[in-house]
Structure 1
Amino acid sequence: MRVLIYSKIVASGRFWQQKLEEQSVQADLCASMEEAREILAMATHDAIIHIFDGNCSHNLEVLGRLRDGLNLPILVMTYGQQKHSTFEVLDAGADDFLPSSVDVRELFARVRCKCRATNARGHDIIYKSGVSIDMEAHEVRWQGRKIYPSSRELLILNELIANPQRIFTKQHLEILLYGYGYVAKSNTIEVFIHTLRKRTSPNAILTVRGVGYKLGLN
């Protein structure tokens, strides 16, 4: 399991990073939205842990930006005196709200629980783009019409659909398909994207020049 810890309080972020890694959880740490976007683009994460600092309005704003376009569970932890009501935090996009005094085993259990719930919701996903996908049945429909992508095309499509606002780099998609250390042909991802467009629509997947690919929302 891999999580992203967002914390402007470095000591607190490193504390929980160490605690989670002791539970065999790979934990990446960031302190800004720019860092968060870079880390999320480079690897697939299962959840985000957002540690609130003392800036009341800033916390909710960052939470909203983290939530925008991501289909990942976000667990919020407090730091110091609590300045937010539970309903404010949940309404702003959090999936859970925990005090900093929580035991790391409970935190890890809650992360696993939220990941299971997200995966269950993601079993049949339908978005404005007209795509529905069932990973277990290996069934994909484009605007109600069944299409037959290859297993790797399906992995790419599922990744794009799960996070429709996110731009995925070529490197991220290569790691998704082949894992770390594998050197794919330079045009491998382009070929898969081209084939998926032929199966759906030229505008179903957008190329963001110099960055990567994202789902085209109709």
Structure 2
Amino acid sequence: MELKILIVEDEKQIASFIKMELEHEGYLTIISPDGRDALEQVKNNAFDAILLDIMLPYINGIEVCKRIREFSQVPIIMLTAKDDISDKVIGLDSGANDYITKPFDVEELFARIRVATRTLNMNQSKSLECSGISMNLDTHQVVCNKKIINLTKKEFDLLEQLLLNTNIVMSRDRLLQKVWNYDYFGDSNVVDVTIKHLRIKLDDTENKIITTVRGYGYVIRK
């Protein structure tokens, strides 16, 4: 099956180079020259992955990524010249699956695309359910006690880890590694803060859904 890739890049020479290399590997490609057009393309077409620059006309790549995540979980790989750690963290926090800086090796790009699309296929039609919570990994919809809950990406990822490890106490360090991937350089208290926000949204005021294991971490029990 041929995979369809959206290339969001305003520099024509770079976009043409990526398009040529991808099509040589058997991918179908569409080039989008700006953020506004990219959003329209994603709304009107089914893509298997998106290569997304950050510095774009009309709407920057970070905002494009955030808006796409409101309705789609298509794999997004940031492809940009911005290589500061802070830029990478912002890109990943906005919903990107991966981040590659320019100049890049085309073979590495192919490998990253293979990983991103393979992960998507593994997660197709997958859902998690426990303690009155239903999480759809395709649509990122979370329902708690028959009520749809709107979560940020990090809240979703944290809840996903707890549901994947039902009855297993997850330490703060383990959650930090799994959800923030050690790209977060702030206070490790970020786990506790995110748990607090999750509990509010899940109406878990008595901590019956997410249980605190004092001095260690958190667990969701069946």
TM-score by length of 1: 0.51
Cα deviation 1:89-145 (Å, max 9, x = unaligned): 111111000012222222112111111112222232479xx89799xxxxxxxxxxx
The separation in 2 between residues aligned to 1:120 and 1:51, in whole angstroms, is 26
Residue 20 of structure 1 corresponds to 22
Residue 123 of structure 1 corresponds to 125
Q: What amino acid does structure 1 have at the position aligned with 2:77?
A: L
The 8 Å contact of residues 54 and 61 in structure 2, kept in 1 or not, is answered as: yes
The separation in 1 between residues aligned to 2:87 and 2:137, in whole angstroms, is 37
Residue 172 of structure 2 corresponds to none
Q: Which consecutive unaligned segments of at least 5 residues does structure 2 have?
A: 139-222
The 8 Å contact of residues 54 and 80 in structure 2, kept in 1 or not, is answered as: yes
Match status 1:88 vs 2:90: yes
Q: How has the CA–CA distance of structure 1 residues 133 and 78 changed in structure 2, closer, same or farther, with 3 Å as cutoff?
A: closer
The 8 Å contact of residues 126 and 132 in structure 1, kept in 2 or not, is answered as: yes
The 8 Å contact of residues 67 and 74 in structure 1, kept in 2 or not, is answered as: no
Q: Find the partner of 1:98 among 93, 97, 100.
A: 100
Q: How has the CA–CA distance of structure 1 residues 114 and 85 changed in structure 2, closer, same or farther, with 3 Å as cutoff?
A: same
Residue 173 of structure 2 corresponds to none
Q: CA deviation at 1:49?
A: 0.6
Give the match's secondary structure for 2:8. strand
1:32-43 pair list within 5 angstroms:
32-43=34-45
Q: How has the CA–CA distance of structure 1 residues 92 and 30 changed in structure 2, closer, same or farther, with 3 Å as cutoff?
A: same
**What is the root-mean-square deviation of aligned Cα atoms in Å?**
3.3
1:174-213 pair list within 5 angstroms:
none
Residue 71 of structure 2 corresponds to 69
The more displaced of 20-29 and 5-14 is: 5-14
Identity %: 25
Residue 31 of structure 1 corresponds to 33
Q: What amino acid does structure 2 have at the position aligned with 1:59?
A: G
The 8 Å contact of residues 20 and 104 in structure 1, kept in 2 or not, is answered as: no
Q: Which consecutive unaligned segments of at least 5 residues does structure 1 have?
A: 135-218
Give the match's secondary structure for 2:116. helix
The separation in 2 between residues aligned to 1:46 and 1:67, in whole angstroms, is 14
**How many residues are paired up?**
132
